[in-house]
Every structure is written in C-alpha cells, then in structure tokens.
C-alpha cells in the first residue's frame, strides 16, 4: 500500500466519522437546533467523500443544495417556530420503544450489508471515467436525458407556483 | 507567458514529495494553503479597513484616521490589538456552543472561497474543474454562520438580523448564479483559471477581450447580488443599526466580533476578486520585463481592490433599502433580468461560434 492510498483511506475514514457522527447527532441531540447543525456536518462529510472520490461536481452540488438550501430552510423553519428555551425540542429522543425498533432495523440492514460486502462478487468496471465529468453530465442532460430533465424542471415550477399561491391566500385573508 | 492553466497544487506537491513521503506532502500542502489564506485575509483586512475609513472619511468631508502612523496606516493594527486585549464576554443566556462556533463557521466558509481565486497564471491554490460553483456553494455556507450567531444569542434583534441575512442570501443567490452563467457559457468552463485564460487577447487591437464588454448586464447583476450576499450597503439589513441594534452580532464583542468583521471584509474582497476573474480579465494586463512573474498578481489585486473601492463608494453615499423593497428588487427585477442575460449570452455564443465577427474584423 503506497502513500497516496494511505492518504485516501485516512480521508475516507475521517469523512465517514463525520457522516456517522453527524447522523447520530441528528437523532440524539435533544435540542433541535443542534440536530440541524449536526445535519450540516453530516452533509459536509458526504461532500468530503465525493471530493475524495474526485466527483467534484457532485461534491459542490451537495454543499450548494443540501447545506445551502435544505439545511438552511430547516433552520429557518425552526427559527420561525421558536420557543423561549430550546431544551427538549427534539421529541422522541428518550423513547425506549422507538430506540428498540430503530436498533432492530439497523441490525437487519447491517447484516444484509455485511453479507453483501463479504460474499457478493465485486465487479470492477474496465471503463475509463470521463475526463471532464461536468461537461459530460451537462451534455447528457441536454441530449439523452433532456425529457426527464425538463419534467423535473416542470415539477419544480409547479411547486414554486403552488408555494406562491398558498402565500397569496394568507395575504388575502389578513 | 507562463504555461497555460498551471496550478500550484500538483507542482508544489511534487516538489514537496522530493523531501517527504507523498501523503505528508499532500497534508503539508493543505495546511500551508490554509495558513496562506489566513495570512492573506489578515493582510487584506488590515489594508481594506484603513482604506474604508479613509475613503468614507474623505467622501464625507472628514480626514479619517491620521494620527497613528503615517496617514493613519497603523490604525487598524492598533484596533486589532485592542480587540485582542478585550475581555472575552459570553452573555449568560446564550447557547454557548453555537455562540462560540458561529464566527468560525463564517470565517471558515469565507476562507474556502479563496482557494479557487486565480491570483496569477501559476498562483491558484486548487484549480477545481467546478471552481465557480465551489465559490457559490461556500458563499451560501457563510450565511449559516450568521444564522447560528443570530439564533444562539437568544435575542430578538439578533434573531431578526440572522433571519434577514439568510432571506437575503437565499433570494439573491438565484440571480447571482444566473448572472455567473453568462460568463461560464462564454468561456465554456467552470474552472476559474480556464475562464481567465479565455479572456486573453485584444479586439481590434486595443479593446481587451474581457467578458464585461460582452456581458455588461451580467456584470451589473453579479455585482449587485454580491453586495447583497456580503451584506454591504445598501443591502446591510442584517445589521441595520437604526432598527436592530447591531443585528446578528449584537451580543458579540472582542475577537469573536472581530472574526465576523474580518469575514465580512474578506467576503467583500472575494466578491470583487470573483468579478475580476469572471468579467474583468482576471490577471491579464501588460507584463513588463521587470519581475515578469509578479505583474499578473499586481493586475489582479489592482482590479479587485478597485472594485472594492466601488463598494466603499456605494457604502458612503447610499441609503439602506427597506426589507420589502429589497425582496421586490431581487425577485421582480434581478431574476427576470438575469434570465434575459442568459438568452443574450446564448446569442453571443452562437454568433462567436459561427465565426461571423472573426471574418468581419479579420481577427
């Protein structure tokens, strides 16, 4: 194992710790703002894994969409419904029955994943990755996958107009 | 002319690899890059804060600092020393962890932006193939720090400040990205260094091939959104003194406040530097025989500082928007205009590719 590989493994390990730690934080923090912040950490870890796999475009999109939009919207919602003290805002944390169910589910999925990892034959593709992945993605979206791309755009437009309509109704009432 | 698209990262790592194992070279490069960015930001802040005071002072018929050192040059250093000596106050009712973390989150995300700025043909810390998107992504992360600061203070003024800041960043990010897209379409690349390289040369022998001449609308939209994104006047609603105390940083003092302040200046400079990269030809400029490797850096800095000067000019002469006016302006004016700009850019790309202009002017 040469130096570069050690570095890659170390980076992967650190990022995985960030993802798992962040994920556990989301579930176990009793203050819901802390939970949201550790979700940001988790997303940063995922972006880091993408970076270490040289999928730069995906990594940047992860930061832009999941942190810049999703996490911030969640935090915004928390702030708009704030109470005077944030302790104990993340309900369900101390519920033993739920913990048991979650543990059972995690064990089942874990067994399946470990089985797969050990016994399934891993195929390594002989194909060469595209040299300029961003250009490749862009061209694919505009040619081969143009229709799914457009449908996603229409879906977002519908959501946008729907949000504006709901907000308008509130304004009219007041 | 140095080799095209050269990137400090592989060259330095290879050079370091001659002395230490490869993995250590990689780690050293990253740590070194971080230290360099911090030094750059600190130096910039020292100079820019002094410049801000002088510029605003003279524009308002005052003199600005002039006692500390020649022309008051040491004023910022003195202020920094004062801030460092101040007692570190954490108010009793704040959420301590978030309160402490918030300035670092903001500073970290600002520092990350500096990684993709092409300071000269060879000086870019990491020439990512998605540099422009990287810049936008970490620009929006900075607002998360402001939100944390505003929230953890448990103070209604701070919270309103934090929420305004995020509402502003989320709204103005849309036209900003759409405006950036114009330059990206013309260059055909998302790498900052490639975009600068595409702006090499002259039209008709005297007009530099900067994208601002093809994209005046895009540049204007980008610059306005940049002002909003970094909460500069006239978009400084998150810390509107007249309404909110000091907004999200009301409860902060000493060096914690200093970090927010530093990040604000670094952000303003980064916005100017990115505008330079995308629209003003980056480090392109006349290179003289004396120290030829230094001139691109000088041109880059000169253009970026000139744009920062424009920001200060606006700051000293304009009033603050009202929050509803700001939202209206963003969504009803800038977004349609930036969509129009995309159509214009597409037309320009089509015309350039068809080669009509080249045939007409023989260039």
Contact criterion met (CB < 8 Å) for B147 and A34: no
Is 70 exceeded by the pLDDT of residue B267?
yes
Residue A108: pLDDT band (50, 70, 90) is: very high
The residue of chain A with its CA nearest to that of B101 is A37
Spatial CB neighbours of B279, under 8 Å, sequence gap ≥ 6 = B183, B210, B211, B212, B215, B218, B219, B222
Q: What is the pLDDT of residue B198?
A: 84
| Mean pLDDT computed over B8-22 | 75
- Residues of chain B contacting A132 with CB distance shorter than 8 Å: 129
Counted across chains A and B, CB pairs separated by less than 8 A come out at 82
C-alpha B317/C-alpha B144 separation (Å) is 29
Who wins on pLDDT, B80 or A109? Answer: A109
Are B141 and A57 within 8 A, CB to CB?
Answer: no
Chain B residues whose beta carbon lies within 8 Å of the beta carbon of residue A67: 137, 140-141, 144
- If you measure CA to CA, which chain B residue comes closest to A75? B147
pLDDT, position B5: 46
Min mean pLDDT across B4-8, B239-243, B315-319 is at B4-8
State pLDDT tens for residues B334-358. 999 999 999 999 998 888 888 777 6
Nearest partner of B330 among B159, B190, B177, judged by Cα: B177
CB spacing of B98 vs A33 below 8 angstroms: yes
Distance of CA B235 to the CA centre of its chain: 15
Look at residue B208 and tell me if it is in a domain: yes
- A66-107, pLDDT tens digit by residue? 888 888 888 888 877 766 666 666 666 667 788 888 889 989
Q: How far apart are CA B347 and CA B217, in angstroms?
A: 14
Query: How many angstroms separate the CA atoms of B124 and A41, rounded?
Result: 27
Residue B28 has a pLDDT of 81
Question: Residues 13..72 of A with a Cβ closer than 8 Å to B: which?
Answer: 31, 33-34, 37, 40, 56-57, 60-61, 63-64, 67-69, 71-72
Q: Environment class of residue B74 by beta-carbon count within 10 Å: exposed (0-12), middle (13-18) or buried (19+)?
A: middle
Burial string for A115-143 (b: 16+ CB within 10 Å, else e) reads eeeeeeeeeeeeeeeeeebbeeeeeeeee
- The residue segments making up the domain with residue B325 are 8-361
Which run of H or E residues covers position B17? Answer: helix B8-17
Instruction: Tell me if B55 is assigned to some domain.
Output: yes
Cβ-contact B237, B323 below 8 angstroms: yes
Q: Is B210 helix (H, G, I), strand (E, B) or coil?
A: coil
Give whole-number Cα distances, B272 to A167, B66, B106, B231, B308, in Å.
Answer: 36, 27, 18, 14, 6
**Residue B3: pLDDT band by 50, 70, 90 thresholds?**
very low
State the total domains in chain B: 1
Closest CA to B281 of B213, B344, B349, B359: B213
Number of alpha carbons in the 13 Å side-chain half-sphere of residue A75:
33
Q: Pick from B147, B128, B149, B108: which is nearest to B267 by CA?
A: B108
CB B145 within 8 A of CB A71: no
Top-confidence residue, B259 or B246:
B259
Whether residue B1 is predicted with pLDDT greater than 70 in this model: the reply is no
Q: Is residue B335 part of a domain?
A: yes
pLDDT at B361: 66
For residues B62-83, average pLDDT: 83
pLDDT digits (tens, 9 = 90+) for B175-203: 999 999 888 888 888 888 888 888 887 77
A170 by Cβ neighbours in 10 Å (0-12 / 13-18 / 19+) ranks as exposed
What's the full length of chain B, in residues?
A: 363
Quote the minimal CA–CA distance from B325 to chain A in Å: 17
Q: Is residue B1 part of a domain?
A: no
pLDDT at B362: 58
> d(Cα A53, Cα A51) in Å, to the nearest integer?
5
**Residues above pLDDT 90, as percent of chain B:** 11
Q: Following DSSP, what letter does each residue of A146-165 receive, concatenated?
A: HHHHHHHHHHHHHHHHHHHH
B129 CB neighbours in chain A (<8 A) are 56-57, 132-134
Tell me which residue of A157, A33, A150 sits closest to A88, measured CA to CA: A33
Query: In this structure, is residue B3 part of a structural domain?
Result: no
Query: Among A4-8, A20-24, A158-162, B93-97, where is mean pLDDT lowest?
Result: A4-8
B207 bridge partner residues? B203
DSSP secondary structure of A55-91: -HHHHHHIIIIIIIIIIHHHHHHHHHT--S--TT-ST
Answer whether B137 sits within 8 Å of A60, measured CB to CB.
Answer: yes
Please answer whether residues A42 and B125 qualify as being in contact, where contact means their C-beta atoms are separated by less than 8 angstroms.
Answer: no
Res B343: pLDDT: 92
Find chain B residues with C-beta within 8 A of A134's C-beta.
129-130, 190
Q: List CB contacts (< 8 A) between A69 and chain B.
A: 140, 170
pLDDT in tens, B270-309: 999 999 999 988 888 887 777 777 888 888 999 999 999 9
Assess if residue B224 is contained within a domain: yes
**Rounded Cα distance, A109 and B203, in Å:** 63
Residue B211 to residue B215: CA distance in whole angstroms:
6
For range A54-77, the mean pLDDT = 86
């Amino acid at each position: 194992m040469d130096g570069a590989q050690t570095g890659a493994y170390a980076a992967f390990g650190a990022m995985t710790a960030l993802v798992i730690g962040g994920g556990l934080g989301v579930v176990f923090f009793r203050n819901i703002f802390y939970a949201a912040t550790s979700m940001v950490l988790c997303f940063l870890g995922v972006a880091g894994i993408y970076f270490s796999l040289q999928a730069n475009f995906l990594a940047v999109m992860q930061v832009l969409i999941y942190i810049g939009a999703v996490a911030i919207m969640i935090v915004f919602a928390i702030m708009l419904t704030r109470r005077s003290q944030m302790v104990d805002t993340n309900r369900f944390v101390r519920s033993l029955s739920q913990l048991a169910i979650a543990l059972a589910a995690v064990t089942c999925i874990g067994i399946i994943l470990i089985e797969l990892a050990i016994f399934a034959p891993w195929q390594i593709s002989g194909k060469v990755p595209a040299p300029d992945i961003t250009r490749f993605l862009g061209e694919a979206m505009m040619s081969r996958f143009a229709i799914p791309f457009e449908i996603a755009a229409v879906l977002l437009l519908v959501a946008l107009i729907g949000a504006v309509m709901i907000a308008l109704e509130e304004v009219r009432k007041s | 002319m140095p080799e095209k698209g050269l990137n400090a990262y592989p060259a330095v790592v290879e050079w370091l690899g001659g002395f230490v194992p490869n993995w250590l070279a990689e780690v050293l490069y990253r740590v070194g890059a971080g230290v360099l960015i911090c030094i750059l930001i600190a130096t910039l802040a020292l100079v820019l804060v002094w410049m801000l005071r002088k510029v605003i002072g003279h524009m308002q018929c005052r003199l600005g600092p002039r006692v500390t050192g020649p022309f008051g040059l040491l004023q910022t250093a003195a202020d920094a020393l004062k801030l460092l000596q101040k007692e570190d106050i954490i108010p009793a009712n704040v959420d301590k962890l978030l309160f402490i973390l918030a300035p670092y989150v903001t500073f970290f995300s600002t520092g990350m932006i500096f990684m993709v700025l092409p300071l000269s043909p060879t000086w870019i810390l990491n020439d990512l193939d998605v540099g422009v998107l990287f810049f936008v992504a970490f620009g929006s992360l900075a607002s998360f720090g402001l939100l944390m600061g505003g929230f953890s203070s448990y103070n209604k003024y701070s919270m309103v400040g934090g929420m305004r800041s995020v509402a502003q960043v989320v709204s103005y990010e849309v036209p900003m990205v759409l405006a950036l897209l114009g330059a990206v379409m013309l260059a055909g690349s998302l790498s900052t260094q490639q975009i600068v390289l595409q702006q090499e040369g002259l039209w008709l022998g005297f007009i530099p091939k900067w994208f601002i001449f093809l994209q005046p609308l895009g540049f204007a939209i980008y610059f306005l959104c940049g002002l909003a994104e970094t909460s500069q006047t006239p978009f400084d609603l998150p810390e509107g003194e007249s309404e909110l105390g000091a907004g999200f940083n009301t409860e902060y003092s000493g060096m914690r406040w200093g970090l927010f302040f530093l990040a604000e200046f670094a952000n303003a400079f980064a916005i100017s530097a990115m505008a330079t990269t995308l629209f003003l030809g980056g480090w392109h400029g006349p290179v003289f025989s004396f120290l030829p490797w230094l001139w691109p850096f000088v041109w880059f800095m000169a253009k970026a500082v000139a744009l920062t000067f424009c920001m200060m000019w606006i700051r000293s002469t304009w009033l603050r928007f009202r929050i509803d006016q700001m939202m209206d302006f963003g969504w009803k004016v800038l977004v349609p205009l930036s969509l129009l700009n995309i159509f214009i850019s597409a037309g320009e790309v089509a015309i350039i590719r068809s080669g009509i202009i080249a045939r007409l002017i023989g260039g």
